[in-house]
Amino acid sequence: MPSPHPHARGEIPERHWPKPEGEVGPPQAASLDELRAQAEVCRRCPLWRDATRTVFGEGPRDAGAVFVGEQPGDQEDLAGKPFVGPAGRVFDQILETAGIERDKVYVTNAVKHFKFEPRGKRRIHSKPNAGEIQACRWWMGQELDLIGPDIVVALGATAAQSLLGKAVPVTKMRGRTFEREDGVRVFVTIHPSFILRIRDSADKEAERERFLDDMKAVKKLMA
């Protein structure tokens, strides 16, 4: 079992907890480090209760591209870093083949706590709901404001929903760039875990190629 969250242990006084949407929250952070520290004690939705920790985004403030996944998985929850588990390995390999250096881009998630169902000793991934996605947009909005990337990449449906504010049919829309009212450009593609779930090896390889093509297109969109 993960150790209880610092809130649950009573180590973080309530006055330091960010307030739910609609109320006055903490002041606008001046840096990603400050924002990360604020997010560590987030209770904007109930997911903090069972997760080990907030898994915040990672990467340089001057990143040309921000990649947004769904939520941390089991390994990310334990490590405190995004995309370090099986989906992260697929992501890393394909980024490298496309000529994108992972440590030069910013990688984050639409939802920053691991949502799961306990099954025996295992923790099974559970999809975040619309309320949880909405509550966590607060953090991603500020990450994007601070970084101001050339392109934001939605990896899968949850990220696309969070970034575009509506449900998006990802397999139909993949490879397309949408410009939001605030000028942020969002490139939509699949989540790398989709490749992991394909059983047929020829189909898996074809999907890897399609994802590689998408990553090459993203590289061109980075200034």
- By CB under 6 A, the residues from 99 to 118 that bind ligand URA are 109
Distance CA 197, CA 204 (A): 8
Distance CA 34, CA 63 (A): 18
Contact present, 211 and 193 (Cβ < 8 Å)? no
**Nearer to ligand URA (CB atom), residue 59 or residue 69:** 69
- By CB under 6 A, the residues from 181 to 200 that bind ligand URA are 193
Pairing mode of beta strands 116-119, 122-125: antiparallel
* Under rule CB under 6 A, residue 72 binds ligand URA: yes
Distance CA 148, CA 144 (A): 6
Selection from 196, 191, 194, 188 nearest residue 217 by Cα: 188
* Under rule CB under 6 A, residue 57 binds ligand URA: no
Selection from 143, 133, 159 nearest residue 69 by Cα: 159
Q: Determine the size of the site formed for ligand URA (CB under 6 A).
A: 13
* Under rule CB under 6 A, residue 77 binds ligand URA: no
* Under rule CB under 6 A, residue 82 binds ligand URA: yes
Out of 69, 95, 115, 151, name the contact with ligand URA by CB under 6 A.
69
Distance CA 213, CA 72 (A): 25
Out of 87, 147, 152, 157, name the contact with ligand URA by CB under 6 A.
87
Q: Which residue is nearest to ligand URA (CB)?
A: 69
DSSP, collapsed to helix, strand or coil, labels residue 175 as coil
* Under rule CB under 6 A, residue 139 binds ligand URA: no
Contact present, 146 and 35 (Cβ < 8 Å)? yes
Length of the chain measured in residues = 223
Q: Which stretch binds ligand URA (CB under 6 A): 27-35, 75-83, 177-185, 197-205?
A: 75-83
For the CB of residue 203, give the shortest distance to ligand URA in the complex, in Å.
21
Out of 38, 52, 54, 71, name the contact with ligand URA by CB under 6 A.
71
Out of 18, 26, 73, 149, name the contact with ligand URA by CB under 6 A.
73
Contact present, 65 and 57 (Cβ < 8 Å)? no
Per CB under 6 A, residues contacting ligand URA are: 69-73, 76, 82-83, 85, 87-88, 109, 193
